[in-house]
Amino acid sequence: MDILGSILSSMDKPPSVSDKQKDMIKKQKEDFLKKQKAEQEKLKEFRDKVEEKINMLIKDGAMQRYKFDAMEKVYRSIIHDVAEVAGIPAYSFGEEGVDRAVLLCKKEFTPGEDEIAALRRGETWDPEKAKEIAHMRELERKEEEEESHRKPKRFVPNSNYREKYEHLIGRESAKEAARVTQTNKQYGFGRFLVVFCTD
């Protein structure tokens, strides 16, 4: 007998599953499949309802926007998918897990950046306030433009770097460095004149 055969014969056999346990496992599997199928049907029904509402939004000339109630992420992702297929912009806003909702808009009536930012912060959108904010931004832009056209002020440093680092390099180091530097001619380089400005 070989080693592998002796090891296998000395090992315990796996415990056998009784009929009662088999029935229990089978029932659990069936319950799981039923729940999974029910969830899929529920999501399919929700998708159909969303498609109906989006078609209603597209066809209704007076309707500019449609806001869905707060819902879980799975449902919001379905809304975003259907809206993308229909070519309608969809925006999510609110706090995750609390009141996160989806807003659908027709392409002609898409909200501006300020409105989206206000909705995402949980604020109500006020068109009068928006006009005021736009006016303030325009004034700021004009001020920046005027400032860029002005002559730039000449920058004058507070201290001279030579005085600042005098204790490290000394006063005469720049003058000493302004000398002719000779390179090693065996590398094929000629002479170069290196001059440091002391003013």
What is the end-to-end Cα distance of the chain in Å, rounded? 98
How many other C-beta atoms are found inside a 10 Å radius of the C-beta of residue 43? 13
- Are 76 and 100 spatial neighbours (Cβ–Cβ below 8 Å)? yes
Q: What was the pLDDT predicted at 177?
A: 56
- Are 78 and 50 spatial neighbours (Cβ–Cβ below 8 Å)? yes
- Are 122 and 95 spatial neighbours (Cβ–Cβ below 8 Å)? yes
How many other C-beta atoms are found inside a 10 Å radius of the C-beta of residue 46? 16
Closest CA to 120 of 91, 89, 94: 94
- Are 193 and 180 spatial neighbours (Cβ–Cβ below 8 Å)? yes
Q: Which of 44-48, 131-135, 182-186 has the highest mean pLDDT?
A: 44-48
CA distance 148 to 142: 10
- The structure's pTM equals 0.53
Task: With cut-offs at 50, 70 and 90, classify the pLDDT of residue 172.
Answer: low
| Cα Rg of the chain (Å, integer) | 38
- Are 53 and 87 spatial neighbours (Cβ–Cβ below 8 Å)? no
Q: Which residue did the predictor score with more confidence, 27 or 10?
A: 27
Q: What was the pLDDT predicted at 41?
A: 95
Q: Is the pLDDT of residue 162 over 60?
A: yes
Q: What is the mean pLDDT of the chain?
A: 78
Closest CA to 88 of 63, 69, 71, 113: 63
Structural tokens at position 134 = 């736009």
Q: What was the pLDDT predicted at 147?
A: 81
Q: What was the pLDDT predicted at 40?
A: 94
Fold of 25-110: Ribosomal Protein S8; Chain: A, domain 1 (3.30.1370)
Q: What was the pLDDT predicted at 67?
A: 84
Of 71-75, 101-105, 190-194, the least confident: 190-194
**Per-residue pLDDT tens over the stretch 52-101:** 988 888 888 788 888 888 888 888 899 889 988 888 888 887 777 677 88
Structural tokens at position 191 = 């002479």
State the angle between helix axes of 113-120 and 127-149 in degrees (0 to 180), rounded to the nearest 10. 120
Q: Where are the domains of the chain?
A: 25-110
Task: With cut-offs at 50, 70 and 90, classify the pLDDT of residue 183.
Answer: low
Q: What was the pLDDT predicted at 49?
A: 92
What value, to the nearest 5°, has the Cα angle with vertex 106 and ends 105 and 108? 120
How many other C-beta atoms are found inside a 10 Å radius of the C-beta of residue 131? 10
